[in-house]
Structure 1
Amino acid sequence: MAITPLAALHRKLFDETDGVRFSTLKDRLIKKFGETDRLAVLDILTAYARDGQLLHWRSSLVNEIVKLMVPQELPAFFNWAVTTPDLAYWGIDGLLKSQGKDAYDTVVALALSSSLRPEVRAKAVKSLAVLSRQPFDAGLSPDPGHWKAESLPLEEVLAWQRAGYPDGGGFAPPATHPSLAKPQSPLDRAAAKLEKKLAFARKQDQDLARPANWLVIAGGADLAAIDERWTLPSQYRDFLERFSPLRVYIESEDYFQGLNLYGAAELLKAQHGYSCNPIDQQAITGWPAHYVVIADAGADPYCLDLSAVTDGDAPIYTAEHGRGAWQFERHADSFVAFLEEIAAA
């Protein structure tokens, strides 16, 4: 009897010992048969997750299984996976997807277990927060692998358990200025273009527990601290007040290392290492005192030149870091022009 293409891929997957080739085979299996023979592919992936010879890939396959399955599938597999240390991280998501709120007791127990790795316990808390819409992850990294053990909100989780696992209200989007929807001035229009770009990025990846890629209304205390430090050009000051970047990171070919555009909450700290020493707050020799760093691309600063303000705006200069003395070059004739460039990148 001839071996079917699916059976041939199955055999190759289990025989392969090279991780790179295994990845190629796995991707081919899912892409070619994930829709037409989904259950058969799930059988292959779960079998490998249980007994495959490449341990690293056994763990990663659990995540692939979670994405391929539909709710209420594979409860026995995921009840087993969360008891297996190397599979528990992604197994938590699968257990919640397969059993929903019925899995809460098990996942809370994982969060409380001091015998598990911190990232697994953090993943349990994060996944519970996402499903229940409770704010256990407020202010924490979207990646629970970066959480510290002492930051785990275990008392809040236990209180939620005692209350009978009520659903929460989730997180409201950050407050934005109405001018983004109805731009009038050149500054408004440039900000609105950037907002459209950021909205696309948010659609791909957004966690409102720690929102990123937003233009938001700045806090009064942040603006007061900025005004105490500098007299900024009115166009940039207005931008910060109404459209302050919140963890804005632009990825494009124009900025091959990515561009961080600073908001009001981080502008003062962003000067550290450029104009001032973060330890003693003393000015760093060689830095032009009239340059304010408003963005960086891989630590290469983009600076507003406060000595050349015209009609409420100022030119942008940039330089490459790590070359000894700074060698600045004019990058844009104004902040609004720089903003338009970023929006089009």
Structure 2
Amino acid sequence: MAQTIKQLREDLFSETNGNKFDKIKNKLIKGFSADSRREVIEIFIEYSKSGRLLHWRNFLLTDIIALVKENETAYSIFFQWTITKPELTYWGIDGLLKTQGEEAYETLSNLVLNKTLEVETRAKAMKSIAVHSKQPFDRNLPKDPGYWKIENLRIEELIHWQNQGYNQGNSYKAPNIHPNLKNPKTELEKAVYKLNDLLEKERKNNQDLSNPSNWLAIADESKIIEIEKKWNLPENYLLFLKNFSPINVFIDDDEKFFQGLSLYGADDLIKNQNGYSFNPVTGENLQEWPSNYIVIADAGADPYCIDIGNITNNDAPVYSSFHGAGEWEFEEYSKSFIDFLKDITE
């Protein structure tokens, strides 16, 4: 027999086990949020104020925010209250923005400027303001403001923005992509096309253009010149770096790659040799590393290397090894870089 919303509310408030609480909460959302959305919201709000599981008072805010509609001002009073409670402020910020919109800018700016608050909370306020206002306060910073440091807070820019009347910005432009990414002709481009199709799904689900991820973009020419001075790369791989350079590309497939695969781009190819062929502390090349192996990707620090000493038909094989085993023991992973790209998307 199906439980009523009243019965589930009683179960929610009496439950002391976190896992069981989560199941009850989800039953309320799935079973009643469509027809009784406001009643479900009020139950969650009541729990956030007085529920016995303290950590769930905080976690419920994300569900409340998801259920509340844009500019639904009836709930702004609740979110104004949450930002006065240290244990609720972090997530209450997004709720206040969703219900008040631009009217919340002054309140949230004051949170950023409040030196008595934790850096994480101040950073969250600045990040949320940046996303909503399309102002670049979050440029080149981690997507998660929990990783920001106090020096990352662009206080002077925020104050200037306040003085200008909280005007809307222009947001960020997407990375510049090569036209052949959408119109592949060569075997390399066809392999890249499939990779981009995989990455495009990730971008749709989770993308923050202040720090773009999972893009294949035209590389900065100066980076390519720097790379060409250092190595003689096979043409297929060099064209890949020039025209389809990975930007924070991560292949989330831990069945095939340990902890997923990070694919390097032109911006980070040289520096990511550190710890493999180069010791960044002593500034010395590591003698045990094969000089013809260039690390082009890693899976949980396990390197995937292209062998530039074995270039044939404009390509070269890719080798892999496990780290932390004492000695590097490389095995051929693919016959060519193009095959390596194909393997990623299979």
State the TM-score, normalizing by the size of structure 1. Answer: 0.97
**Is the partner of 1:164 in helix, strand or coil?**
coil
Runs of 4+ that moved beyond 3 A:
none
**Is the partner of 2:294 in helix, strand or coil?**
strand
Q: Equivalents in 2 of 1:142, 1:112: separation in Å? A: 20
Q: How many angstroms does 1:75 deviate by?
A: 1.1
**Is the partner of 1:317 in helix, strand or coil?**
strand
Q: Equivalents in 1 of 2:39, 2:250: separation in Å? A: 40
Q: Equivalents in 2 of 1:92, 1:42: separation in Å? A: 17
Q: How many angstroms does 1:4 deviate by?
A: 5.5
Corresponding residue of 1:116: 117
Q: Equivalents in 2 of 1:279, 1:225: separation in Å? A: 21
Residue correspondence of structure 1 range 162-173 to structure 2 within 5 A: 162-173=163-174
Corresponding residue of 2:271: 269
Q: Equivalents in 2 of 1:156, 1:111: separation in Å? A: 12
Q: Deviations over 1:181-238 (max 9, x none)?
A: 1111101111111111111100000000000000011112211221121110111011
Q: Which moved more, 1:3-12 or 1:165-174?
A: 3-12
Q: Equivalents in 2 of 1:233, 1:133: separation in Å? A: 41
Of 326, 331, 334, 1:324 maps to 326
Residue correspondence of structure 1 range 107-146 to structure 2 within 5 A: 107-146=108-147
Q: Deviations over 1:91-128 (max 9, x none)?
A: 11111111111111111111111111111111111111
Q: How many angstroms does 1:3 deviate by?
A: 11
State the TM-score, normalizing by the size of structure 2. Answer: 0.96
Corresponding residue of 1:333: 335
Q: Equivalents in 2 of 1:29, 1:285: separation in Å? A: 61
Q: How many angstroms does 1:50 deviate by?
A: 0.7
Corresponding residue of 2:50: 51
Q: Equivalents in 1 of 2:182, 2:239: separation in Å? A: 16
Q: Deviations over 1:285-306 (max 9, x none)?
A: 3211110000011111100011
One-letter identity of the residue aligned with 1:78: F
Q: Deviations over 1:28-82 (max 9, x none)?
A: 2212222121111101100011111112111111111111111233011011011
One-letter identity of the residue aligned with 1:232: L
Q: Equivalents in 2 of 1:83, 1:141: separation in Å? A: 26
Q: Which moved more, 1:71-80 or 1:42-51?
A: 71-80
Identify if the C-alpha distance between structure 1 residues 112 and 232 changes in structure 2 by more than 3 Å, giving closer, same or farther.
Answer: same
Query: Any unmatched runs of 5+ in structure 2?
Result: none
Corresponding residue of 1:241: 242
CA-atom RMSD in angstroms: 1.4
One-letter identity of the residue aligned with 2:257: Y
Corresponding residue of 1:257: 259
**Is the partner of 1:140 in helix, strand or coil?**
coil
Identify if the C-alpha distance between structure 1 residues 223 and 7 changes in structure 2 by more than 3 Å, giving closer, same or farther.
Answer: same
Corresponding residue of 1:230: 231
Corresponding residue of 1:298: 300
Q: Equivalents in 1 of 2:280, 2:51: separation in Å? A: 50
Corresponding residue of 1:281: 283
Identify if the C-alpha distance between structure 1 residues 50 and 310 changes in structure 2 by more than 3 Å, giving closer, same or farther.
Answer: same
Q: Equivalents in 2 of 1:122, 1:217: separation in Å? A: 31
> What is the aligned-residue identity percentage?
46
Q: How many angstroms does 1:325 deviate by?
A: 1.0
